[in-house]
Amino acid sequence: MATEWKNLSEYDPTSVPSGQGKRVGIVVSDWNPAVTDKLLQGACDTLLKFGVKEEDLLIEHVPGSFELSYGAKVIIERTNVDAVIVLGCVIQGETPHFTFVCDSVTQGITQLNLTSDVPVIFGLLTTLTLDQAKARAGGRHGNKGDEAAITALKMIAIRSNYQ
């Protein structure tokens, strides 16, 4: 569903599994920090609200969105997390760079989800303008970080059902 008709921060709290005892990695891009800092805050606040302890949040910063896949891969391979959330923001400019970065991150995260036992949650904003990004990072459309955190908890629950 298009974000225009859905608030990213709206969810039924009774449908969200507990995060108690879970460890979540978050890889956040330092590019566009006015947006990504808010995405990170939304994800952390939501995970804490549902029982993940602050000491069980593993936060790593990467320079840009292109590096999100590698950051997630390192966390999966070298730590013991139940899920990884990637957060970033790519805003279309005048060159095809936007398309290359968005496609690469999408493919990288998909590949990690297909080859790893740890769910990797796609929290990359791909917008045409900074205003659109801000609207999805705590603005009128809610916060994609909240949505990514809820998705992580639900995917952890699915994984736990089959262990």
141 is annotated as an active-site residue: no
* Strand ranges for the chain from DSSP E: 24-29, 57-62, 83-91, 120-127, 137-139, 142-143
As a whole number of angstroms, the distance between CA 52 and CA 43 comes to: 11
Compute the radius of gyration of the chain from its Cα atoms: 15
Phi and psi at 84, nearest 5°, equal -130, 135
Tokens matching residue 53 = 């302890």
Given 6, 53, 97, 140, which residue is catalytic? 97
Both tokens assigned to 33? 């920090």
Residues 6+ apart with CB under 8 A from 43: 26, 85, 87, 123, 145, 146, 148, 149
Please list the active-site residues: 97
